[in-house]
Amino acid sequence: MKRNIRNTPEPGSHTEPRENPKMFLEAGDTITIGSRKHRIERVSLAKDLGEKFGLVIPDDVPIYWLQRAGERRKGAYVPEQNIVLFFDNTDEETQHHELTHAVEYHQKPTSELLALYERVKAAITEDSFEGFVSFNFMKNIHEFIADGRTKGVFIHALKKEGLHDDFVRETAYLFTDPTKDS
C-alpha cells in the first residue's frame, strides 16, 4: 500500500499529519457561515451528545455552539469540515438530525438503500403526511437518511405508506457501532 510519509511538518506549517487530532476552534473564536460571522459560545464533542441519541460518533467531530440565530437556520452539519453547528436554541429533533449526518455522511449508500430512496420518492405525496408536510427528504440521500431517522412527520409518512420497516432495515448498517464486533 502506498503511504505518504509526512511526520515532520515544516516549522510554522499549519498542515497537521493526519494521525494527529484535529485542532478545534475555541469559545470566543469566530466562525463565518455564509457571509455572517458568529461567535462560538462553547465547544463540545458530538460524540458526547450523540450518546443521548444512541449514535456512535468519532471523537474528532466538534460541536460549535453559537448565539441564537436571527434567521431560520436551526443547526448544521458541515461535511467538508466535519463539524456540527448548533445555536443555543437548537431543538432536540434538529440536534438528532444533524448528529445523524455526522454518522451517515461519510458512508456509502448501498444499492438497496438507493433503490428504496427511489421507491420512497415515488410513493410519498402530500397525502402521506398529517398536518405539517416536509419534502426535505427529496433533496438528497443524506436528508432522506437523517429525516427518516429523526423527523417525526416523515417517519409517520413512511409508516403510512408501509415503507418504514424497509427504511429501518436498509439503513441499519449505517448505525451499527463500529467499535463492537457483533
Q: State the nearest-atom distance from the C-beta of 148 to Zn ion, in Å.
A: 11
Count Cα atoms within 13 angstroms, Cβ side, for 109.
19
Q: State the nearest-atom distance from the C-beta of 85 to Zn ion, in Å.
A: 12
Q: State the nearest-atom distance from the C-beta of 139 to Zn ion, in Å.
A: 8
According to DSSP H, which parts of the chain are helical? 46-52, 92-104, 111-123, 141-150, 152-160, 164-171
Residues touching Zn ion, count (CB under 5 A): 2
- The residue (of 6 and 139) whose beta carbon lies closer to Zn ion is 139
Give the span between the Cα atoms of 161 and 178, in whole angstroms.
Answer: 31
- The residue (of 31 and 141) whose beta carbon lies closer to Zn ion is 141
What is the spatial order of strands in the sheet that 62-66 belongs to? Answer: 30-33, 36-45, 62-66, 83-87, 75-78
157 part of the interface to Zn ion, by CB under 5 A: no
Segment 114-143, which members bind Zn ion (CB under 5 A)? 143
146 part of the interface to Zn ion, by CB under 5 A: yes
Beta-bridged to residue 42, according to DSSP, are 65
- CB contact at 8 A, 147 and 154: yes
- The residue (of 19 and 80) whose beta carbon lies closer to Zn ion is 80
102 part of the interface to Zn ion, by CB under 5 A: no
Q: Which residues of the chain form contacts with Zn ion (CB under 5 A)?
A: 143, 146
